[in-house]
Chain A
């Protein structure tokens, strides 16, 4: 067995409530091998997003990690202090969020946001070098005339383009793991396919590991190797994507499957469906 990139063991996250603590994540374990794409599915409130944020140590106050280990390349992130954690975020693990409009800072140009990100992890880089890198990653995520768009503000982009900018920010410092938290939910259906295709391409091209969080089992089936199904703070089922999809053991997984309207005759996890979205030009 190869060394795991991320190995989360028995993770617990709690939020204080009026009457004591409430556990949102109740002893969850999952792992990501280098180059692997992992999906976590579950409905809202299942604890999947909180688990992802916990890996980044970004659980919103006053919630906190109350137990477990988050081993990244053998190092326990749960035990790191905030300063050490900053060198991990963006550089080793990055994250893409659901709504690109509210996730990008409205008061700064995307160029500024990219340059700041690059320079946060390469303090020695000159402004010019950082700018060059900004153009490079924008081109990588398929934004044309990247040099000219650096001076644009997020609101000047369309929704799909904004999510591309968000992805560019996330991969600007060549992280090993990209956590994508419902990255397509806020987008139009046609744009969704493009963003999924982009993630697929980046994974191939950069050797990224991906942790894909979604409520949509079909989407996860398209791009992930393995899937964890979460329900009320627990992992109820996990395994290879085809096993889970074709032979769901848990009633909750079957329920998730049944919620999704499907086009007659097309099986989303089939190779045909995969390549048809995988090759959509950005």
Chain B
């Protein structure tokens, strides 16, 4: 059937076409390229932290306490004599683990909820799901995160054979809190697609609802979702750092950018400037990277700008 054959962007080559557009767009735009490079460096640091980091990030060496940057310790040392550079590199691991996995959870859940609501388009089920999502989204993410970590506590929790450290709890929580946004986007795009001619044509062909949802509608939601997911990684990094800063996130001695800044706060009067500057610069640079990449991807993938920048 010709209509189905011509259905826009729903082919298997859709993903390839998207990648191609990303590649062409990126070459044209220095901002996006800069973003991509920063992101790759940060991810590389997180993956290869044990190989790159010059020192152990956890072991205390009190004799090296609070040394300024030098040839030996490029970014100086903290109050425990630990190398700041090594801790910044390891901090990337905590930061990106939380922010990337939270987005994976958020996208998975958000897509399922959004498609579910769109599938029940027009019925009371859709109304209830979307209204509940609006209500949850009516509390700022950070307040939810702090309140819930406060309720659950920062200690590790064992459920069956699994042990959930606070990092696990945090990333699951942030992922859950991302779901409303991503569900809204999916729902909005899916609703439009559901009424399009090619979906009607697919129905005439006898395609099942699930096949249509995941085979035809979902691929069309990908572009805005990729853009939003990239921007959400940036937000996740700041949220993780903030929550760790107030002591409810990554727990010591695991190095994280937020808790390094919390330590640095104690030395704000005594002049060890390298304590707050480098972890903060690491956060800012990484977030700039994801934001540049996200904005660039939006220009290429979602020129109609259905994905606004999520507020936090």
Direct contact of A and B (CB under 8 A): no
Where the two chains meet, the residues of A that have a C-beta atom closer than 8 Å to any C-beta of B are none
